[in-house]
Amino acid sequence: MVVEFRFPDVGEGITEGRLKKWHVAEGDQIKEDQIVAEMETDKAVVEMPSPASGKVLKLNFLENEKVRVGEVLLVIGGEGEKAGDTVQATAAVAPPKEGSLGGLLGRRRPSSTRAIPRVRMLAEEKGVDMESIPGTGPEGRVTEEDVLKAAAPKKKPLKIKSNFDFYGHIDHVPYTGMREVIGRRMSESKFTAPHATTMDDADVTGLYKLRKRINSEKDIHLTFIPYLIMTVVEALKENPMLNAMLDPENEDIIVKKYYNIGIAVDTPNGLMVPVVKRVEQKKMKGIQKEIEGLVERAKDRSIDLADLKGGTFTISNYGSIGGIYGVPVINFPEVAILGVGRIRDMPVVKDGKIAIRKVMGLSLSIDHRVVDGGNASRFLNRVIELLEDPKWLSDKV
């Protein structure tokens, strides 16, 4: 039985991916659920398990090529079968609708192109649709050369790039893979959601001392991130419009009653945002351990797609690499993101006197379609109040 394995719909609005790596070659015998390829989506690298056992009859894409949802990745068959044989089963997540890309790919046209039997047999062996081949022979007949040309892998024209411009030498960094995906998603966020940003400082001297004491007494090493996550969740409970998303098609603002906090991670392959789920049900020690695992898997690209979905609010800790303030871009379709700067010693007027205090810069970006300036200020003020009087965090470890 010949089986066409189509690139499935993995959800989250993903419409295409990039074929990162083949794990099989044409002619290989494979088993059901064997990993045949790695696909890079705008979320993560996803392994593709085979839907059936059999022989790999044809690979339809080259590595690094883009593949749209519904397109046939590879064809699998039994002994004596060819890629051009009638398809009896199609691997897909759901039956393609008539008129969709999957539906179009699933239909086959009867061959009426003029060609001798030997050429037709060659076309079947190569898995080429005779109707799609322009004939160059007499009276428009399709020749063997036409079939071989149509079956050959499509090569992109070689572009020669200079390593210098008018002013000096330059390097070329490919704008593909994760980098291209990040750029596309950032553009979607900025051009869809009108951003507004507010900034302020928090005196975290007390939090600094509390963290140091808890780490010493409990012999643990909590970073500031679990404290920030707990603080953000408390502030979101009082300002729920920042824990929401806009559904313009249904003229609806969806306010989430749970708190899934994304943590922006700087990886060698670009920015990724793993999500800690249901934070309101967890303690800081568990959150810390979960974050460490997520960050590790994000950096080596072994993270599960599910760990990058479902966020309701994001924290971007650019302070970990030295920043003080920023204008963070919202992780669309969320409606707010908190940027956190590094903690620095600053002279602060306290009780009428100047004192050196530990100060953290905070930057809050909002989707102004959903969140007003007043809501944003109230949220940020509450975050600051909770950080500056952190005793309530003592029992959250």
354 and 239 in one domain? yes
Nearest to 218 by CA among 265, 143, 285, 283: 285
159 is a domain residue: no
Is 198 part of any domain? yes
Residue at 113 is within a domain? no
168 domain residue, yes or no: no
Identify the pLDDT of residue 110. Answer: 37
Final residue of a domain: which of 108, 140, 162?
108
Q: Is the residue at 291 inside a domain?
A: yes
What are the tens digits of pLDDT across the range 241-294?
A: 999 999 988 899 999 999 999 999 998 878 899 999 999 999 999 999 999 999
Distance between CA atoms of 361 and 390, rounded to whole angstroms? 17
> Residue 63 domain-assigned?
yes
Residues 279 and 361 in one domain: yes
Question: Quick one: the chain helix, strand, coil %, rounded to 5?
Answer: 35, 25, 40
| CA dist., res. 394 & res. 214, Å (int) | 8
How many CB atoms lie under 10 A from the CB of residue 36?
A: 21
Number of domains in the chain: 2
Would you say residue 97 lies in a domain?
yes
DSSP state of 332: T
Burial class (CB in 10 A: 0-12, 13-18, 19+), 340: buried
Mean pLDDT of all residues in 24-42: 89
231, 98: one domain: no
Residue 348: which domain range? 177-396
Which pLDDT score, from 0 to 100, does residue 80 have?
77
Separation CA 87–CA 94 (nearest Å): 17
Q: Say what the alpha-carbon torsion angle 318, 384, 291, 266 is, to the nearest 10 degrees.
A: -10
CATH code, 77: 2.40.50.100
State the pLDDT at residue 288.
96
Residue 178 reports pLDDT greater than 60: yes
> What is the band of 1 on the pLDDT scale with cuts at 50, 70, 90?
confident
Across the range 155-163, mean pLDDT stands at 70
| Averaged pLDDT, 39-48 | 81
**Coil/strand/helix, residue 128:** coil
Work out the average pLDDT over 98-115: 40
Q: Is it the case that residue 206 has pLDDT exceeding 90?
A: yes
> 371 near 241, Cβ under 8 Å?
yes
Which one from 169, 172, 195, 368 is the annotated catalytic residue?
A: 368
3-state secondary structure of 387: helix
> What's the pLDDT tens digit per position in 271-285?
899 999 999 999 999
| Predicted structure pTM score | 0.66
Cβ distance 281 to 304 under 8 Å? no
Single residue among 108, 130, 159 that ends a domain in this structure: 108
Q: Residue 91 corresponds to which amino acid?
A: A
**Of 20-34, 130-144, 289-303, which gets the smallest average pLDDT?**
130-144
In the prediction, which pLDDT does 99 show? 34
Residue 151 has pLDDT above 90, yes or no: no
CATH of the domain at 378: 3.30.559.10
DSSP classification of residue 194: -
Q: Are residues 187 and 301 in the same domain?
A: yes
Please indicate, yes or no, whether residues 257 and 382 belong to a single structural domain of this protein.
yes
What would the pLDDT profile of 64-75 be if each residue is shown by its tens digit?
A: 898 988 889 999
Please indicate, yes or no, whether residues 227 and 343 belong to a single structural domain of this protein. Answer: yes
Question: Do 100 and 182 fall into the same domain?
Answer: no
pLDDT score of 90: 53
**Cβ proximity of 243 and 255 under 8 Å:** yes
Query: Are 216 and 342 in a shared domain?
Result: yes
Give the closest residue to 209 by CA, choosing from 354, 340, 390, 356: 390
Domain termination site, one of 55, 74, 108 = 108
In a domain? residue 130: no
The reply to whether 368 belongs to the active site is yes
